[in-house]
């Protein structure tokens, strides 16, 4: 008989630390009955004002927030339909900083207020929260790719795939002087692709569907990532209800966060597709069985390799409650074989095999000041110079990158071994967070790997930590901090005072309270969990 499961009661201080066996599908927490009517028009419009300001400010900021090269988008660029909106300077204008960071502050404030309201008043229908997030997303969908030029590299790789050029051997620069090779960041021009065959196959198909037109291809790529977010939205309520959590709150905390909107959607990163397939795999495994869940997680790993952790954790829990370590290892190996078969098939479809495995660390060559490994490396380098030592910065970074990965691996192994008691969802989410935060490079969208996975169960201190991480990554990862600091330094006292005054005003001016009619009790644990009709009683091997 499966063990009785304990659902943490929301509102208790230790609820996020309570061991929950979240793997047994027979334990379905009772979701709160939608009895709450909330006026969502005001938060929807305030958030829309925030994202509109972000998009407008980013275009005015020129090269700081988007590529601003001729022909890079339908409007806002040199040669665009509506002309150029932004500055050609390497530093953003004070006006653009006011709009971008003022919009971010407003968006985060509205998001936090709505989160607090959903926490106190569970039961708001998920579709209403999804509608609010969609309203917020409109300007970011219409705007040029913001805060990253990676999507231009995707387009170049899709062009290569459609012409049967191996992206695991060459970078987009092999295409010659075309928009597919010149709009992306130069650092990736001659870098082979680190992405899996699932993404590259879709990438090539979209390029063919666009008629090899760069702007149409970029729009289709953004729609592909929007589809990935839609998958995550669809999976989150199923997972949240299984933990006795409010599904609307879980959707807003994960996929509806300012970080997901600005990093995944505005930047059109393929991490959105990876996360969507991963979340779909977890939800399908819970409702229909381990094997289809493994297949979907393998497809997610065929987009980006970190999703392979989903296969590992599913395999480890597949052995059932009370299984020995050897039995768990055997089931994990079986899960790995299933995933390998899926990826082999994807490699045959793409025609480029397994070359992506050796290229998976290509992005680690980047250097960002907000990556923990980089920050520690720079600190050690500066301290060494103080005592008249002259070590190479890259050599120090290599050492600390290896240490960070070893720490992430140790944390992952520990969480894997504890997952039968702590739960698959929590253990996997924390492992993905550890990999992102301790890896050689941290981009804002990497943090969403673990955040979206943890959102369906986050409460208490875990919820607070996730909110803090979202807020931090949203603000520090929007652009090169050096360029922003230089712009402020050279802006003069009057513009700088205006910048500070307006941002403080956006941060402190009251935005009103949300109105509620009706009430809903907190979700409570079911005293006798029973399986839903048509669901397997246990996801264990026969």
For 410-424, what is each residue's pLDDT tens digit? Answer: 999 999 999 999 999
Q: How does residue 205 score in pLDDT terms, banded at 50, 70 and 90? A: very high
pLDDT (tens digit per residue) in 151-173:
999 999 999 999 999 999 898 99
Q: Which of 100-104, 180-184, 304-308 has the lowest mean pLDDT?
A: 180-184
Q: What is the mean pLDDT of the chain?
A: 83
Q: Is the pLDDT of residue 235 over 90?
A: yes
User: Is the Cβ–Cβ distance between 60 and 87 less than 8 Å?
Assistant: yes
CA-based torsion, 99, 101, 104, 106: positive or negative: negative
- What's the pLDDT at 29? 43
Q: Is the pLDDT of residue 1 over 80?
A: no
Residue 158 forms beta bridges with which residues?
none
Tokens at residue 241, please? 């209800």
pLDDT (tens digit per residue) in 102-112:
999 999 999 99
Query: How many Cα atoms are found within 13 Å in the side-chain-facing hemisphere of 445?
Result: 23
Of all residues in the chain, the percent with pLDDT exceeding 90 is 54
Q: Is the pLDDT of residue 233 over 80?
A: yes
pLDDT (tens digit per residue) in 390-417:
778 788 888 888 999 999 999 999 999 9
- Closest of 108, 106, 102 to residue 58, by C-alpha: 102
Mean pLDDT of the 168-187 span: 88
Q: Is the pLDDT of residue 306 over 50?
A: yes
Q: How does residue 238 score in pLDDT terms, banded at 50, 70 and 90? A: very high
All structural domains of the chain with their residue ranges: 145-355+367-383+385-479
Residues 6+ apart with CB under 8 A from 277: 228, 231, 296, 297, 299, 300, 303, 307
- What's the pLDDT at 494? 80
């Amino acid at each position: 008989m499966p063990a009785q499961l304990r659902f943490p009661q929301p509102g208790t201080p230790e609820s996020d630390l309570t061991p929950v066996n979240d793997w047994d599908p027979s334990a379905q927490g009772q979701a709160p009955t939608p009895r709450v009517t909330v006026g969502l028009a005001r938060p929807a419009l305030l958030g829309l004002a925030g994202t509109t300001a972000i998009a407008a400010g980013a275009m005015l900021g020129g090269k700081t927030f988007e590529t601003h090269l001729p022909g890079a988008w339908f409007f806002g660029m040199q040669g665009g339909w509506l002309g150029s909106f932004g500055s050609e300077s390497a530093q953003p204008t004070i006006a653009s900083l006011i709009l971008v960071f003022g919009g971010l502050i407003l968006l985060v404030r509205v998001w936090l207020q709505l989160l607090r309201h959903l926490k106190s008043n569970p039961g708001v229908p998920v579709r209403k929260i999804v509608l609010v997030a969609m309203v917020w997303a409109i300007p970011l969908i219409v705007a040029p790719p913001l805060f990253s030029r990676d999507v231009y590299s995707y387009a170049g790789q899709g062009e290569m795939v459609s012409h049967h050029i191996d992206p695991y051997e060459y970078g987009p620069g092999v295409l010659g002087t075309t928009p597919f090779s010149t709009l992306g960041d130069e650092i990736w021009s001659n870098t082979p692709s680190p992405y899996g065959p699932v993404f590259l196959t879709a990438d090539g198909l979209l390029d063919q569907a666009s008629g090899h037109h760069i702007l149409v291809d970029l729009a289709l790529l953004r729609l592909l990532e929007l589809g990935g977010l839609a998958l995550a939205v669809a999976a989150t309520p199923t997972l949240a209800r299984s933990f006795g959590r409010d599904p609307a709150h879980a959707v807003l905390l994960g996929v509806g966060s300012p970080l997901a909107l600005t990093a995944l959607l505005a930047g059109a990163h393929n991490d959105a597709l990876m996360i969507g397939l991963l979340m779909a795999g977890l939800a399908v495994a819970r409702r229909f069985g381990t094997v289809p869940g493994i297949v979907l997680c393998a497809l997610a790993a065929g987009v980006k390799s970190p999703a392979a952790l989903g296969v590992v954790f599913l395999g480890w829990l597949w052995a059932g409650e009370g299984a020995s370590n050897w039995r768990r290892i055997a089931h994990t190996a079986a899960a790995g074989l299933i995933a390998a078969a899926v990826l082999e098939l994807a490699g045959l479809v793409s025609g480029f095999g397994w070359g992506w495995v050796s290229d998976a660390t290509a992005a680690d060559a980047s250097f960002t000041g907000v990556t923990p490994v980089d920050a520690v490396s720079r600190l050690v380098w500066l301290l060494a110079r103080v005592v008249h030592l002259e070590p190479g910065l890259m050599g120090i970074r290599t050492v600390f990158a290896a240490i960070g990965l070893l720490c992430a691996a140790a944390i992952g192994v520990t969480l894997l071994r504890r997952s039968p008691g702590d739960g698959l969802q929590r253990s996997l989410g924390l492992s993905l967070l550890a990999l992102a935060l301790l890896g050689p490079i941290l981009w804002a969208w990497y943090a969403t790997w673990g955040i979206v996975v943890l959102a369906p169960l986050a409460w208490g201190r875990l919820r607070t930590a996730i909110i803090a991480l979202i807020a931090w990554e949203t603000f520090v990862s929007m652009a090169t901090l050096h360029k922003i600091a230089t712009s402020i330094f050279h802006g003069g006292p009057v513009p700088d005072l205006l910048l500070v005054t307006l941002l403080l005003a956006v941060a402190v001016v009251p935005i009103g309270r949300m109105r509620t009619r009706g009430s809903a009790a907190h979700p409570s644990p079911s005293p006798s969990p029973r399986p839903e009709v048509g669901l397997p009683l246990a996801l264990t091997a026969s």
